């Protein structure tokens, strides 16, 4: 996996990121937009024009600027460096939320997935709690995945995995706060703050409770589950629709989230989410984590690499155009992050963090 180091003001970091990957960012932006418009026609029967996306993106820019001015300044810097419009840059990172805000049809599986877990310290053979997840996305996005170390002038340093030209997707900060996400899809999607902007803002906090508050109180654009864990041992999954949220704090047993709502009042808002893959991955990861009370990091990496269930497996290998683009395992109490580019059973895991 390629590693990028950014430092300075938010605007300077954004410009550095945009200039350094200008051609790739422009290519990825075009690729993601074309894929989204195609899927809208094939699966939803909706002929959505690109201009409609820019209109929603413009409102998202305003909402994101109010939620996190520094993140907004970095996004504008990326746009300048990559020679893209701010709207195109916003759509690059938040396209799933913008798609849902436009009520595009089509299976969620056409746009990605992800499987995540929280494991309490009491179930680990050593060290504190663990947070891990796969990041599933279109296979053609995989060449654009990068690890980014940000050292801002103000605020904590962060280490995250994302795609070129995008804000933080999953990672950890210098205080040991780890954040990640799995995608959901609900009918209350709207123009608002997209999920990458929420994660980028959450990673400025010291404690999971404060990061949770920043997500719950935001004018969110779409539905996602957020995993938050800190060095003090506080951890939770926050299941969000655009307008509702529910916090499930980590207790004595592990927690798992995939790509369908587990909160009944949220499930009532779900769109046409296909259940087979999401439910199979949820059941399989729960079964793996129920198999013992003394896990180590190697076993957890193995769970993320699990291929049982074929095309419904946790570790996805170009199933219907979707692959596990990356995976991560965080030990917040130790301030440690391990990441892998591509399939977790074939890619190289390496330390990337404080």
pLDDT at 123: 94
Q: Name the range with the highest mean pLDDT among 33-42, 105-114, 307-316.
A: 307-316
pLDDT at 36: 65
Question: What is the C-alpha to C-alpha distance for residues 40 and 171, in angstroms, rounded to an integer?
Answer: 31
pLDDT at 56: 83
pLDDT (mean) for 10-17:
98
Determine contact, residues 25/92, Cβ cutoff 8 Å.
yes
Q: What does 257-268 look like in DSSP terms, one character per residue? A: E-SS--SHHHHT
Q: Which of 27-31, 292-296, 347-351 has the lowest mean pLDDT?
A: 292-296
Radius of gyration for the chain, computed over Cα atoms and rounded to the nearest angstrom: 18
pLDDT at 108: 42
Q: Are strands 224-229 and 235-240 parallel, antiparallel or unpaired?
A: antiparallel
Question: What is the C-alpha to C-alpha distance for residues 207 and 14, in angstroms, rounded to an integer?
Answer: 25
Q: Which of 225, 226, 220, 168 is CA-nearest to residue 191?
A: 220
pLDDT (mean) for 329-336:
96
pLDDT at 38: 66
**Overall residue count recorded for the chain in this entry:** 354
Determine contact, residues 67/213, Cβ cutoff 8 Å.
no
pLDDT at 323: 93
Would you say residue 84 has pLDDT above 70?
yes
pLDDT at 180: 97
Output the six-digit token pair for 303: 């769970």
Phi, psi of 48 (to 5 degrees): -85, 130
Q: Which of 14-23, 211-220, 288-297 has the lowest mean pLDDT?
A: 288-297
Percentage of the residues of the chain whose pLDDT score is greater than 90: 77
Cα angle 215-221-227, degrees, rounded to a multiple of 5: 35
Per-domain boundaries in the chain: 2-101, 110-345
Average pLDDT, the chain: 91
Q: How many CB atoms lie within 10 A of CB 329?
A: 24
pLDDT at 164: 97
What does the buried/exposed string (b/e) look like for 95-128 if buried means 16 or more CB atoms within 10 Å of the residue's CB?
A: bbbbbbbbebbbbbbbbbbbbbbbbbbebbeeeb
pLDDT at 43: 47
pLDDT (mean) for 216-243:
97
pLDDT at 326: 97
Q: How many CB atoms lie within 10 A of CB 45?
A: 9
Would you say residue 305 has pLDDT above 60?
yes
**CATH superfamily name and code, 110-345:** Penicillin V Acylase; Chain A (3.60.60.10)
Identify the band that residue 42 occupies on the pLDDT scale cut at 50, 70 and 90.
Answer: low
Would you say residue 126 has pLDDT above 90?
no
């Amino acid at each position: 996996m390629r590693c990028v180091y950014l430092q300075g003001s938010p605007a300077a970091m954004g410009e550095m990121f945009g200039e350094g990957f200008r051609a790739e960012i422009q290519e990825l932006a075009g690729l993601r937009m074309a894929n989204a418009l195609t899927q809208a026609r094939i699966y939803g029967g909706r002929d959505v024009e690109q201009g409609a996306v820019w209109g929603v993106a413009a409102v998202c820019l305003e909402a994101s600027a109010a939620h996190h001015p520094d993140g907004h300044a970095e996004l504008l810097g990326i746009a300048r460096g990559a020679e893209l419009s701010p709207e195109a840059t916003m759509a690059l990172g938040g396209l799933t939320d913008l798609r849902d805000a436009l009520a595009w049809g089509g299976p969620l599986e056409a746009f990605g997935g992800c499987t995540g877990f929280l494991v309490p310290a009491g179930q680990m053979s050593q060290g504190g709690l663990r947070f891990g997840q796969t990041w599933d996305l279109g296979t053609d996005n995989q060449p654009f995945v990068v690890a980014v170390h940000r050292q801002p002038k103000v605020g904590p340093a962060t280490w995250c995995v994302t795609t070129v030209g995008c804000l933080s997707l999953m990672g950890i900060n210098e205080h040991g706060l780890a954040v990640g996400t799995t995608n959901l899809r609900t009918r209350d999607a709207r123009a608002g703050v997209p999920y990458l902007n929420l994660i980028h803002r959450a990673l400025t906090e010291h404690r999971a409770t404060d990061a949770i508050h920043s997500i719950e109180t935001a004018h969110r654009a779409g539905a996602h589950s957020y995993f938050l864990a800190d060095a003090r041992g506080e951890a939770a999954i926050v299941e969000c629709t655009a307008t509702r949220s529910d916090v499930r704090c980590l207790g004595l047993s592990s927690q798992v989230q995939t790509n369908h709502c587990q909160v009944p009042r949220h499930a009532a808002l779900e769109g046409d989410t296909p259940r087979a893959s999401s439910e199979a991955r949820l059941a399989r990861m729960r079964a793996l984590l129920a198999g013992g009370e003394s896990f180590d990091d190697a076993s957890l990496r193995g769970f993320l690499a699990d291929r049982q269930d074929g095309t419904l497996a946790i570790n996805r290998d170009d199933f219907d155009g979707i692959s596990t683009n990356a995976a991560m395992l965080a030990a917040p109490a130790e301030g440690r992050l391990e990441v892998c580019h591509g399939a977790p059973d074939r890619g190289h895991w390496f330390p990337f963090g404080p």
